Amino acid sequence: MCLAVPGKILDIEGDDPITRTGRVSFGGIVKQINFAFTPEAKVGDYVMVHVGFALSTVDEDEAMQVFDYLKQMDELAELESEAVK
């Protein structure tokens, strides 16, 4: 099953909308993410991420609700095994 996971943008690098990337925190697990689909995203925003791409921005309440559901379903093991160091 494929899911988008919510995360908070920590930083963004680059000006080109296609290659713009940055670090996103998923409850303490940090990964490098591409923001090509979310040109409006900025540091501090929450985004829904799937296969390394931020697909949409969401408000903090929605992000926390989805993250809690994933914790309850024990669907976060994949993130933990691939954490950026």
Provide the strand spans (E) within 1-85: 5-13, 21-26, 29-34, 46-50, 53-58
pLDDT at 83: 52
- Residues 7 and 61: their CA atoms lie apart, in Å, by 12
Q: Per residue in 16-57, pLDDT tens?
A: 989 999 999 988 889 999 999 999 999 999 999 999 999 999
Residue type, 22: G
Q: How confident is the model at residue 85 (pLDDT cuts 50, 70, 90)?
A: very low
- Residues 42 and 83: their CA atoms lie apart, in Å, by 22
| pTM of the complete model | 0.80
**CATH number for region 5-81:** 2.30.30.140
pLDDT at 22: 97
pLDDT at 82: 54
